[in-house]
């Protein structure tokens, strides 16, 4: 057998071995995107993005960045809206539990989780994989999945315009705007909300200035070992628990019995830059799909991050169902 034939044979074997695990990982990455039967065409997404008020503009790294990578280039009005949204700093009434909680991680410019592992449970099956995560505050998020030998096979990217799931193994990707996500879930999720969920912060979905009002807008209850903050906004019931240091230990977001997202944060470690949880558990009920993910953070640093968008020109854009059919 020639060297080329041997290489092709081994590649085929690896792909067959990875297919079950790949599907589980892709289900976890797409998350609530699975509620949508398909991704819209580029033409429809661009048209809807220009008219919706739910999507703020993505920050561009250059005048031709949107075209070069197959992504949308924000208009001047969208960019202005983004700057205003990113500048929102909530200030709850002095002395309130919320005011204390809002100070946690408020000034973080970026996060680099260079080493972590995740165990994903979907439909009675599970897979454990190595991952890394980068966050440029208020701009871009990137999650890299390396299920074998440290080689990136899947990636999730999110900016202020859309979420993109990339299957490098199959040379494919799928994308969805936040407004499309809201149409399917009923939750007005934005990049800011996604960022806050990852950073274990106190927040209100779809309302970045929610805590800039009287304390009576939400309920606070102090307990011996911590406290609880609960409220309902945009039809989504929120409940946060905090420890004695006002660090978020759990977050529950429920739109209905069919749309329920929960996160738990534990084993906080404090550095000169920030306090972060080393153990994170994510659970989601999204329509008929139920998934769970336990994350073990092993190495993390804080500071400004430069994250480049993946070049999508060589990849095929597909619907979500096609992405999962390996």
The CATH number of whichever domain residue 147 belongs to comes to: 2.50.20.10
Domains held by the chain: number:
1
The torsion angles phi and psi of 39, rounded to 5 degrees, stand at -90, 145
Contact 265, 278 (CB under 8 A): no
Nearest in space to 238 (alpha carbons), one of 251, 222, 219: 251
Q: Which pLDDT score is estimated for 223?
A: 79
- Cα–Cα distance for residue pair 247/250, rounded to 1 Å: 9
pTM, 2 dp: 0.75
Q: Which pLDDT score is estimated for 151?
A: 84
Q: Sign (positive/negative) of CA torsion 271, 138, 309, 171?
A: positive
- Cα–Cα distance for residue pair 323/179, rounded to 1 Å: 21
Residue 237: helix, strand or coil by DSSP? strand
Nearest in space to 46 (alpha carbons), one of 59, 38, 58: 58
DSSP string, 165-178: EEETTTTEEEEEEH
Contact 165, 312 (CB under 8 A): no
Q: Which pLDDT score is estimated for 29?
A: 60
Contact 229, 242 (CB under 8 A): yes
Query: Which H or E element spans position 320?
Result: helix 320-324
Q: Which pLDDT score is estimated for 141?
A: 95
- Cα–Cα distance for residue pair 141/129, rounded to 1 Å: 19
pLDDT in tens, the chain (326 residues): 444 444 444 444 344 444 555 556 666 666 545 443 333 333 343 443 333 333 333 333 333 334 334 454 444 444 434 444 444 556 677 778 898 898 876 678 899 999 999 998 887 788 888 999 999 999 999 999 988 777 888 899 999 999 999 988 889 998 989 988 888 777 888 999 999 998 899 999 999 889 988 777 899 998 778 999 999 999 999 999 999 999 999 999 998 888 889 999 999 988 777 888 999 999 988 777 788 899 999 999 988 899 999 999 989 998 877 776 65
Contacts (Cβ under 8 Å, ≥6 apart) of 194: 141, 158
Q: Which pLDDT score is estimated for 164?
A: 93
Measured CA to CA in angstroms, residue 94 lies from 73, 196, 216 at distances of 40, 21, 13
- Cα–Cα distance for residue pair 240/205, rounded to 1 Å: 13
Q: Which pLDDT score is estimated for 185?
A: 76
Measured CA to CA in angstroms, residue 139 lies from 52, 109, 176, 186 at distances of 19, 10, 17, 24
- Cα–Cα distance for residue pair 260/236, rounded to 1 Å: 9
Range of the domain at 67: 3-324
> 297 is written with which tokens?
């953070």
Contact 246, 103 (CB under 8 A): yes
Q: Which residue has the tokens 């534990």?
A: 266
């Amino acid at each position: 057998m020639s060297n080329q034939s041997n290489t092709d044979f081994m590649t085929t074997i690896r792909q067959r071995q990875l297919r079950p695990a790949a599907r589980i990982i892709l289900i976890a990455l797409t998350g609530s995107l699975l509620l949508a039967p398909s991704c819209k065409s580029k033409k429809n997404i661009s048209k809807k993005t220009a008219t919706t008020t739910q999507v703020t503009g993505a920050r561009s790294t250059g005048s031709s960045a949107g075209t070069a990578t197959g992504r949308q280039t924000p208009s001047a009005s969208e960019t202005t809206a983004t700057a205003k949204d990113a500048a929102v700093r909530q200030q709850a009434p002095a002395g309130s539990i919320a005011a204390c909680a809002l100070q946690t991680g408020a000034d973080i410019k970026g996060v680099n989780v260079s080493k972590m592992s995740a165990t994903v449970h979907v439909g009675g099956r599970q897979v454990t994989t190595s991952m890394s995560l980068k966050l440029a505050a208020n701009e871009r998020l990137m999650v890299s999945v390396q299920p074998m030998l440290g080689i990136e096979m899947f990636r999730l990217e999110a900016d202020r315009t859309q979420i993109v799931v990339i299957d490098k193994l199959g040379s494919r990707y799928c994308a969805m705007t936040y407004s499309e996500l809201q149409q399917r879930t009923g939750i007005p999720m934005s990049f800011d909300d996604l960022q806050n969920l990852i950073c274990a912060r106190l927040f209100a979905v779809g309302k970045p200035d929610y805590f800039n009002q009287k304390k009576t807008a939400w309920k606070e209850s102090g307990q011996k070992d911590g406290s609880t903050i609960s409220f309902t906004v945009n039809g989504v019931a929120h409940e946060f628990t905090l420890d004695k240091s006002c660090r978020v230990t759990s977050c529950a977001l429920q739109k209905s019995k069919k749309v329920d997202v929960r996160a738990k944060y534990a084993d906080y470690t404090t550095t000169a830059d920030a306090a972060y949880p080393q153990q994170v558990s994510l659970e989601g009920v999204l329509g008929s799909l139920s998934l769970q993910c336990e994350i073990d953070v092993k190495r993390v640093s804080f500071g400004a991050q430069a994250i480049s968008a993946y070049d999508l020109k060589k990849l095929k854009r597909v619907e979500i169902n096609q992405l999962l059919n390996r």
